[in-house]
Amino acid sequence: MICSAEARVLKSLFDGFEARGVPYVVLRNYESLPYASGGSDVDILVSEKDGLSARAIVLEAFGAANGWPVGIAESPGFFKVVGLGHTQAGNTGWWGLCVDVNVGLFFRGCRLLDGDKPLPVHLHNGVHVLSDGLAAILGVLKEVLNNDVYPEKYSGAARLAARNDWPLVATLLAPMRARPLVAFRALLLSTAPSEELRADCRQLRSLLFRDMLCSRPIFSVTHRLRYQWSRMRRYARPPGLVLAILGVDGAGKSTVISSLLPVLNAATHNTVVVKHLRPGWLPPLARLKGASRIDGPVLAPHAATPSGVLGSLLRLSYLTLDYVVGYWLWTRPLIAKSPTVVVFDRYAYDMAFDPRRFRVGLPGRVARWFAMLVPTPDLIVCLHGAPETIAARKQELPLEETRRQVEALREFAAREPRAVMVSTDITVEETHDQVLHALCKVLRRRSQTRF
């Protein structure tokens, strides 16, 4: 779907490294480069002195392909850039790419790789790539330290390199110190199932921290503090974003979201999260009341009798609490960790557009007051169309109610700066393009202030 557009981005990226004279090496998953990413992120290693140049090269490559960064997740020695853009007319012109750049090789302040030693590198279709053996060993090392997991996909090549090329590997990984290196080689040569090696993975990480702290205490503490500070900065200014899709029943929300997922997943390396209506930090009210089944679509949204005044206020308070607390305890940490896109199919504003759906027997303006307490998404897409067409698609709501909700959506979009109206009376591809263009406008504004 996006290979031709993606190839343009990749060409701009590697041409940028060559034009600036910045040495780089692709660590793994290079087989389809530079024509496509192969469904993977592009994992690059540069020296510590070239970190800022590499960051500029990635951003310039996105800009050259008419794209913008969704976000940049940075920590000492590493940054992840997620980009999205459009290079030509039509649905096939959209591209999404995730680029991981290791500036040196660190783990939470611990240096793992000697940046002064030359790496075993070769060319693949004009792209500088790391030898398979060392790439597999580094892949194992990153998974072990970050996730306590010995990855099976790298085990064969890593075990072979540990057996045949260990003197070279030990020289390159000398900053890890002797004892962690011995433990790491034993882990590489182990033939035990990966699930039985979790304790060994944790032991290696503890040993690495202890040895680094003893040998270079000031350096280790300083870099560890920098790492923790980077996490706090990401929480304060998340690299990810929240997208809400609104629309009356039959407007085509599910269809539009499905059309967006391929591009968004390509950009974020398959970390898009889709939620229906709310974060779900609190259980549905029906479950609290003992309902045995609450999943599945709502086929008759106005069938249930609305609650009274007190019951309606309790419902609005409960739903608002889920949005507010769920955002700060679930959504915010998710988009702060990496440039993730969280897509909501409906959002808190539906409490005001369609209070009967929530069994709220109060005027819409009361629900609107509650919705004002909810964190605002980065982009709110309001899907609209001819009420007669929408009502005929699902026939779940009367035509007059559909017409009323469409008008309420128009009024909301007119007063909400982050909302944009998008028609679904056109083809799915055209609606898909309009939504992504609106998202790119948001990314452009963010880029102008952040990057």
**What pLDDT shows up at residue 310?**
92
Contact 94, 5 (CB under 8 A): yes
Q: Indicate the pairing of strand 127-130 with strand 121-124.
A: antiparallel
Q: What does the alpha-carbon distance between residue 343 and residue 336 come to, in Å, rounded to a whole number? A: 15
Contact 110, 144 (CB under 8 A): no
Q: pLDDT digits over 336-349, tens only? A: 999 999 999 999 99
Total residue count of the chain as it appears in this document: 451
Query: CATH assignment of 241-450, given 3.30.930.10, 3.40.50.300, 3.90.380.10, 3.40.640.10?
Result: 3.40.50.300
Tokens of 376: 């605002």
Q: Model-level pTM?
A: 0.87
Per-residue 3-state assignment (H helix, E strand, C coil) for 279-345: CCCCCCHHHHCCCCCCCCCCCCCCCCCCCCHHHHHHHHHHHHHHHHHHHHHHHHHHHHHCCCEEEEE
Q: Which residue has the higher pLDDT, 291 or 157?
A: 157
Q: What angle do CA 96, 98, 103 make, to 5 degrees?
A: 155
Q: What does the alpha-carbon distance between residue 138 and residue 122 come to, in Å, rounded to a whole number? A: 17
| Rounded mean pLDDT, 329-357 | 93
Confidence check: pLDDT of 394 > 80:
no
Q: pLDDT digits over 36-86, tens only? A: 998 889 999 999 999 999 999 999 999 998 999 999 999 888 999 999 998
Confidence of residue 2 (pLDDT cuts 50, 70, 90): very low
Average confidence score pLDDT of the chain: 89
Domain boundaries, the chain: 3-234, 241-450
Q: What does the alpha-carbon distance between residue 298 and residue 446 come to, in Å, rounded to a whole number? A: 36
Rg (C-alpha) for the chain, rounded Å, is 25
**What pLDDT shows up at residue 75?**
87
| Rounded mean pLDDT, 422-450 | 92
Q: Which residue has the higher pLDDT, 81 or 393?
A: 81
In the three-class reduction of DSSP (H, G, I as helix; E, B as strand; rest coil), residue 89 is classed as coil
Confidence of residue 299 (pLDDT cuts 50, 70, 90): low
**What pLDDT shows up at residue 85?**
92
Tell me what percent of the residues of the chain surpass a pLDDT of 70.
Answer: 94
- Whether residue 377 is preceded by a cis peptide bond, meaning omega within 30 degrees of 0, is no
**What pLDDT shows up at residue 187?**
92
Tokens of 83: 């980009």
Of 49-53, 60-64, 244-248, 283-287, which gets the smallest average pLDDT? 283-287
Q: What does the alpha-carbon distance between residue 242 and residue 252 come to, in Å, rounded to a whole number? A: 19
The residue ranges of DSSP E strands in 328-426, in sequence order, are 341-345, 379-384, 419-423
**What pLDDT shows up at residue 369?**
93
Contact 348, 319 (CB under 8 A): yes
| Rounded mean pLDDT, 441-448 | 92
